[in-house]
């Protein structure tokens, strides 16, 4: 029983260490979008995406396909921010 609790705590810690940098990337992209003048639904979508990732439980986050899908979503948001910035700059 005690061994299971320690193992679960270690797993949670490792997953948090993996998930936390990802959340920080979302925050950095959100800040960049705000500083470059991107407004509207894109900022709201980034906020929603960050909240979704923050609330994923350990068992969901440890599934590789979930991490890959979230990474792909972050890439799509990055491209959307770049497109929005380019549109506003022209």
Instruction: Give residue 53's pLDDT.
Output: 94
Contacts 24+ apart (CB under 8 A), 10-15: 11/58, 11/62, 12/58, 15/58, 15/61, 15/62
Instruction: Give residue 58's pLDDT.
Output: 82
Taking only the tens place, the pLDDT of each residue in 15-44 is: 566 889 999 999 999 999 998 888 889 999
């Amino acid at each position: 029983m005690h061994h299971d609790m320690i193992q679960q705590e270690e797993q949670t810690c490792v997953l948090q260490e993996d998930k936390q940098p990802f959340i920080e990337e979302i925050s950095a992209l959100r800040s960049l979008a705000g500083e470059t003048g991107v407004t509207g639904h894109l900022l709201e979508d980034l906020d929603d995406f960050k909240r979704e990732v923050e609330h994923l439980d350990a068992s969901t986050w440890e599934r590789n396909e979930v991490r890959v899908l979230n990474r792909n979503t972050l890439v799509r948001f990055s491209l959307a921010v770049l497109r929005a910035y380019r549109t506003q700059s022209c």
